[in-house]
Structure 1
Amino acid sequence: MKGGIGVIELDEIREAARLLEGRVIRTPLVRSDTFSRMAGAEVHLKLESLQAGGSFKVRGAAYKLLKRREEIGPLGVVAASAGNHAQGVALAARAAAIPATIVMPVWASMGKQEATKSYGAEVILAGDSLAESISIAREMAEEGRPFIHPYDDPDIIAGQGTIGLEILEDLPDPDLIVVPVGGGGLIGGIASAIKAVRPETEIVGVQAAACPSALEALRSGERVTVEAKRSIADGISVRQVGEANFPLIRELLSGVVLVEEGEIASAVLALLERKKVLAEGAGAAPLAALLASKLAFPMGCKVVLVISGGNLDPPLMERVVRQGLLKEGRIMRFSACIEDVPGSLARLLSLVAEKGGNVLHIHHARGGEEISSFKTRVDLEVETRGRGMIEEIKVALGEAGYEVLVRE
């Protein structure tokens, strides 16, 4: 690191790129005409979701292992992770023919456990929290297995910085680069590379509002530990930014913005529908910031969004997509009371159909203090084209005499 502000040396990042060539995927930078029109800018997506292991993590892990290969004994390395870092270390270790042991919290998803095992790592389920898993992994490191930190390590940061070099090779003059922030290794590496080559480019971080550790650190002027609420952007839910990363965040970033859960879900949905790109919550956070107008930039400027990963478990994907549809008004949920006689339900459904609504789910609720003995409550979930159609359906039902309770 340089003496003044702790920036990772550009030569170090270039050395990382040299070692990683042919060992990791050089991910594409693609322009999105759709998102460009929406934002009034030239929007490009750096698709680390297409990286080996489904995220950027393999870059830092691979560089760390290749650089320190001679220091690693027969027991190999140990790491702790609930997801992407686990898979990144496992892949990097397999490529370097090094044994890897990954400690994962007991609640880690089965999909990520199996993926990590499939890459050749030994998985140990231990710890009720990631912090506990890290503590256990560090104890194992004392037995002679180097501990591979997910973000707070200069080698890891330099490895992630190779993304910045690739961006500049494909787009030499970006005006703004937007990067997810958890522990800070990804944005620290990218910012170090970009600022060394093109200092006028602005770098902005994005965090989930559920865990604003980097933003609070910038506000207080020092690393702080924040409360972390549950988030669909679990990959960036890190309660305290790394010690090696905070100087980079403080000195190189133009700022950090927060996005809400619904905004993240909408971005996951938009990437899936508009670009056929599957992104996890953390990976979609930069697009969430763009679409929610959290970023300030001149019209027509060149914006790069780093889509950091695509490891979205199928059960969670279903819930996230559904949340995105609700947020965008693509699903209408409402209740209405109808006469409990033949034909009443058909008349209600015909009104919905006339306005173009597609019924997804329907439930009858008979009885109850709030329902007349001669009526039944119908709970409906209807697919729509957006909030305009929802209003049309509400008006049509109201004019037909139905009392409608719309549920968000």
Structure 2
Amino acid sequence: MQLHLNTPLLNSRALSQLSGSNVWLKMDALQPCGSFKIRGIGLACRTYYEQGARRFISSSGGNAGLAVAWAGRTLGVPVTVVVPETTSARAKELLHLEQADVIVHGASWQEANRYALTLKGESDAFLHPFDDPLLWQGHATMIDEVVASNVRPDAVVLSVGGGGLLSGVIEGLQRNGLYDIPVIAVETEGAASFRAAVEAGQPVELEHINTVASSLGAKMVCEQAVRLVGLHPVISEVVTDEEAVRACRRFIDDHRVVTEPACGASLACIYEQKAVLKAFRNPLVIVCGGATMSAEQLFSLYGGA
């Protein structure tokens, strides 16, 4: 039983005209729980269920936790999600809507994660938000779908937080023989843990996160994301919060789909016509989505400008 949708692959007239290139959009914002996370989380939940798991535990108050809750409800498995105190009321509301048991613990995701691990019993499965080979395997299916559509991009643009999407997309490119297609990994300035890891050659823990793109707020990326930099062409790009938010707003007008600023980071590469894209004529942007910010909240940022 596949828990994710095969999402549309759109050729964006608006973004193509703006950039002077042929821009493709993989619309994973249209997944049933609002983000790409259900691809990997869905595969992991299904696998653990088949192995005997009868409760799912997650430590994410964002899109990963929501994907676990959606998968659990679909499979008929109870879900416990431990979220930090900073989790928005909207995110908690969405988790409750999916019938998850929500526990608030700790000031950060790291603290919530440590507590969530203590809850795991013999018949439970723990779902990490981004650091699990099953997640990468599931996320890779978006590239399988692009290839099945007979589209061959010359670059893939995506947002990077903990590195799960990056790891999955590279797995998808490589298993389809697309070893030469570079990945442009985009972060916001206040959550640039991947840029720090690339510069150091190993995962580096940021002292703090300071960004409206809360879904990118992993203080340290997974080791797999750093390892893949040596095995596949990856380009690190950083945008501002304001650029990410502005991209989300423009995307609503152009494609009538609401995304959160974490997704807006990758879209900002196109909308702001970043120099990193000038060499590419057929880029693919992963519209990763995000359900934890409403349109009203999005338009309230930066004075509604």
Confirm or deny a common fold (TM above 0.5): yes
Partner of 2:131: 152
**Corresponding residue SS for 1:53:** coil
1:319 matched to 2:304 = no
Cα deviations by residue, 1:200-243 (Å, 9 ceiling, x for unpaired): 22211101111111111111111111133321211112110012
| Contact 2:69/2:99, CA 8 A, preserved across alignment | yes
Q: Tell me, what secondary structure is at the counterpart of 2:119?
A: helix
2:90 to 89, 111, 127: 111
Contact conserved, 2:249 with 2:299, CA < 8 A, in 1? no
C-alpha displacement of 1:175: 0.5
Aligned residues: 303
Identical counterparts, % of pairs: 26
User: Is contact 1:34–1:274 with CA below 8 Å preserved after alignment?
Assistant: yes
Confirm or deny: 8 A CA contact 2:7 2:26 kept in the other structure: yes
Rg (Cα) greater in structure: 1
RMSD of aligned Cα (Å):
1.9
Q: Is the 8 A contact 2:182 2:235 kept in 1?
A: no
Quote the Cα distance in structure 2 between the aligned partners of 1:40 and 1:228: 37
1:88 aligns with 2:88: no
Alignment of 1:125 onto 2:107: no
Unaligned regions of 5+ residues in structure 2, if any? none
**What's the CA shift for 1:48?**
1.1
Verify: 1:296 aligned to 2:276, yes or no.
yes
Q: Shift of residue 102 of structure 1?
A: 0.6
Aligned mates of 1:230, 1:315 — CA distance in 2 = 21
Give the structure 1 partner of residue 201 of structure 2: 221
Does residue 257 (structure 1) correspond to residue 209 (structure 2)? The answer is: no
Q: Distance in 2 between matches of 1:300 and 1:163?
A: 20
Which of 204, 216, 233 does residue 184 from structure 2 map onto? 204
SS in 2 for 1:52: coil
Which is worse superposed, 173-182 or 161-170?
161-170
* Alpha-carbon distance between aligned partners in 1 of 2:193 and 2:53, rounded to the nearest angstrom: 35
Question: Residue 213 of structure 1 contacts residue 241 of structure 1 at CA under 8 Å; is this kept in 2?
Answer: yes
Between the aligned partners of 1:65 and 1:235, the Cα distance in structure 2 is 21
Aligned partners of 1:300 and 1:140: how far apart in 2? Answer: 47
Deviation, 1:122, is 1.1
Name whichever of 245-254 and 273-282 sits farther off: 245-254
CA distance in 1, matches of 2:32, 2:215: 16
Deviation track 1:302-337 (CA, whole Å, cap 9, x = no partner) reads 1111111132235522323745x3xxxxxxxxxxxx
Determine whether 1:99 maps to 2:78. yes
Aligned 1:50-65 pairs, distance under 5 A: 50-65=30-45
Q: 1:37 to 1:299 in 2, by over 3 A?
A: farther
**Contact 1:102–1:124 (CA<8 Å) still a contact in 2?**
yes
Shift of 1:54: 0.6
CA shift, 1:244, in A, is 3.2
Distance 2:50 2:19 in 1: 49
Provide the residue aligned with 1:273 in structure 2.
Answer: 253
**AA paired with 1:319?**
S
What residue in structure 2 maps to residue 77 of structure 1? 56
Query: 1:371-404 CA distances to partner (integer Å, 9 max, x unpaired)?
Result: xxxxxxxxxxxxxxxxxxxxxxxxxxxxxxxxxx
* Higher RCO (C-alpha 8 Å, min separation 6): 2
Counterpart-to-counterpart distance in 2, 1:319 and 1:38:
26
- Note if contact 2:25-2:286 (Cα within 8 Å) is conserved in structure 1: yes
Q: What secondary structure does 2:103 align onto?
A: strand
What secondary structure does 1:133 align onto? helix
Read off the aligned partner of 2:247 and give its amino acid letter.
Answer: A
Given that 1:101 and 1:123 are in contact with CA atoms closer than 8 Å, whether structure 2 keeps it comes out as yes
Cα deviation 1:328-381 (Å, max 9, x = unaligned) = xxxxxxxxxxxxxxxxxxxxxxxxxxxxxxxxxxxxxxxxxxxxxxxxxxxxxx
Q: TM-score, normalised by structure 1?
A: 0.70
| Equivalence for 1:25 | 5
Amino acid at match of 2:153: P
Aligned to 2:140: 161
The residue aligned with 1:46 is: 26
What CA distance in whole angstroms lies between the structure 1 residues aligned with 2:280 and 2:140?
Answer: 26
Q: Specify which of 13, 16, 24 is matched with residue 36 of structure 1.
A: 16
Is 1:186 the counterpart of 2:165 in the alignment? Answer: yes
Q: Is there any run of 5+ residues in structure 1 with no aligned partner, and where?
A: 1-18, 326-408
Match of 1:6 in 2: none
Quote the residue 2:47 is aligned against. 67
Question: Partners of 1:249 and 1:166 in 2: how far apart?
Answer: 23
Question: Does the aligned pair in 2 maintain the 1:184–1:249 contact within 8 Å?
Answer: no
Name the structure 2 match of 1:306.
286
Supply the AA of the counterpart residue of 1:41: S
Change (3 A) 1:231 1:297: closer
Structure 2 letter corresponding to 1:81: S
Counterparts of 1:5-20 in structure 2, within 5 Å, are 20=2
Matching residue of 1:388: none
Query: Is the CA contact (8 Å cut-off) linking 2:63 and 2:290 kept in structure 1?
Result: no
